[in-house]
Amino acid sequence: MPADGSRATDAGEAGAAGDDAHGAVVAERCAAQLLSGPGAASPYEVVHRLLAVQGQDPRGARLAIRARSAGLTAADVDKAMTLDRSLLITWLNRGTLHLVTAEDYWWLQLLTTPAMETAIARRLAQEGVGVDDAETAIGLIDAALAADGPLTRPQLGDRIAATGIRTQGQALVHLLAKASVRGLIVRGPMVGRQQAFVRVSDWLGRPPALFQPANFDRVTALAELARRYLAGHAPAGERDLAKWAGLPLGDARRGLAAIASELNERADGLAELAARGGLGPSELPGSSGHERPALAFPPPRLLGSFDPLLHGWVAREPVLGAARQVVTVNGLFRPFALAGGRAVATWRLVGGQVQLDPFSPLPVAVSAALEADAGDVIRFLGL
């Protein structure tokens, strides 16, 4: 992005998807992901569009917002989590930390977390934490946050360890995850450079009546899941939705069936909303209102680790191609550069500057566009 925060649209645009159906799907998904077109005006707008942004890497989650917005900074993301209380991070889809809006937390928590407790209990046992100790630790977490919250992970770890309960290895992480999937705590405000935990009841108040467990309508929630997922990921299939949400395929099918009247029929069998992203056909960029607009790939852009573009669908090959080095053998997702709808390089910060490692020589226009975007990364992070 240029220094003024506007989004480049010329150099390195890499061309329209054209008649290549495979490329057209990638271009459509990039548009749904806010990687094409005008940038979002707030962190909330990005997260609301994508519904849930993988959040175990704090910098990666912030960079996901940068790539889909214009003129924001990492401090704006911290403000949304701390002062505005509009965003938070907790364990949701696939048992993974995700950044979500405060209002979406309620129903996503009820929909996606029930199956997680068994897996967490098994991991705690592997870490040497028995059932009784785990329950005691959850009580300690709740009491500590009620009395002295917000508290960071190390602070909570010290409170638990002082009672003799094991916190070494991955034990503390899974104790915090256990309290989170029960709906007791979330990661909310920034305390210095760390995101602190808070009690849900203290930070967000009581859940809306519809999202209290006794009133929760799972079928309605599955419909909303399908609708909101497609707003930020279409075109996509039922297996894409199931994998992304970490729910059984039957649940994905039920959600899509519930909104069948809101979907367009596509020759490729993928699903999309008839009004994509909340816009009617005549409101889509480049549309005459009578035909699907031709979509172009987003301009070359640097994406962070665990970017949503690699987590929304079953297959990553449409973006990664043969670039397997973006995903490491231990499941880490490196920051990468996107150009022409494909990963073309990995990148990292070295001495406060972006160091690009291309997979092959890049065209001059693409290199120039990525260099400009590297400057925006530095601006966004305040480096």
- The 10s digit of each residue's pLDDT in 288-298 is 333 455 678 99
Using the predicted structure, report yes or no on whether residue 305 has a pLDDT greater than 80. yes
Domain end residue (candidates: 162, 182, 210): 210
Domain count, the chain: 3
Mean pLDDT to the nearest integer, 107-136: 96
User: Which of 274, 236, 238 lies closest to 253, judged by CA?
Assistant: 238
Using the predicted structure, report yes or no on whether residue 312 has a pLDDT greater than 70. yes
Domain end residue (candidates: 140, 175, 210): 210
Using the predicted structure, report yes or no on whether residue 89 has a pLDDT greater than 80. yes
What was the pLDDT predicted at 283? 37
Same domain flag for 111 and 183 = yes
Using the predicted structure, report yes or no on whether residue 128 has a pLDDT greater than 50. yes
In a domain, 345, yes or no: yes
Same domain flag for 231 and 202 = no
Q: Per residue in 198-229, pLDDT tens?
A: 999 999 999 999 898 899 999 999 999 999 99
What is the number of alpha carbons within 13 Å of residue 329 lying toward its C-beta?
0
Same domain flag for 266 and 331 = no
Using the predicted structure, report yes or no on whether residue 3 has a pLDDT greater than 50. no
In a domain, 330, yes or no: yes
Using the predicted structure, report yes or no on whether residue 2 has a pLDDT greater than 60. no
Q: Per residue in 34-60, pLDDT tens?
A: 999 999 999 999 999 999 999 999 999
What was the pLDDT predicted at 328? 85
Mean pLDDT to the nearest integer, 149-160: 97
The pLDDT confidence band at residue 11, using thresholds 50, 70 and 90, is very low
Residue 376 near residue 3 (C-beta atoms within 8 A): yes
Q: Per residue in 248-281, pLDDT tens?
A: 999 999 999 999 999 998 999 999 999 754 443 3
Which has more confidence, 257 or 2? 257
Using the predicted structure, report yes or no on whether residue 178 has a pLDDT greater than 60. yes
Same domain flag for 203 and 230 = no
Domain end residue (candidates: 194, 210, 226): 210
Same domain flag for 200 and 130 = yes
> Could you list the residue range(s) of the whole structural domain that residue 320 is in?
301-381
What was the pLDDT predicted at 14? 41
Q: What is the CATH number of the domain that holds 178?
A: 1.10.10.10
Same domain flag for 275 and 316 = no
In a domain, 272, yes or no: yes
Q: What percent of the chain has pLDDT over 90?
A: 84
Neighbours of 261 (CB within 10 A): 6
Using the predicted structure, report yes or no on whether residue 157 has a pLDDT greater than 50. yes
Q: What percent of the chain has pLDDT over 70?
A: 89
In a domain, 235, yes or no: yes
The pLDDT confidence band at residue 324, using thresholds 50, 70 and 90, is confident
Using the predicted structure, report yes or no on whether residue 16 has a pLDDT greater than 60. no
Same domain flag for 119 and 188 = yes
User: Which of 193, 187, 265, 277 lies closest to 232, judged by CA?
Assistant: 277
What was the pLDDT predicted at 294? 60
Using the predicted structure, report yes or no on whether residue 63 has a pLDDT greater than 80. yes
Phi and psi, residue 355, nearest 5°:
-110, 120
3-state secondary structure of 251: helix
- Measured between alpha carbons, how far is residue 245 from residues 73, 94, 97, 114, 218 in Å? 28, 6, 12, 13, 14
User: Which of 169, 181, 180 lies closest to 128, judged by CA?
Assistant: 169
Using the predicted structure, report yes or no on whether residue 22 has a pLDDT greater than 90. no
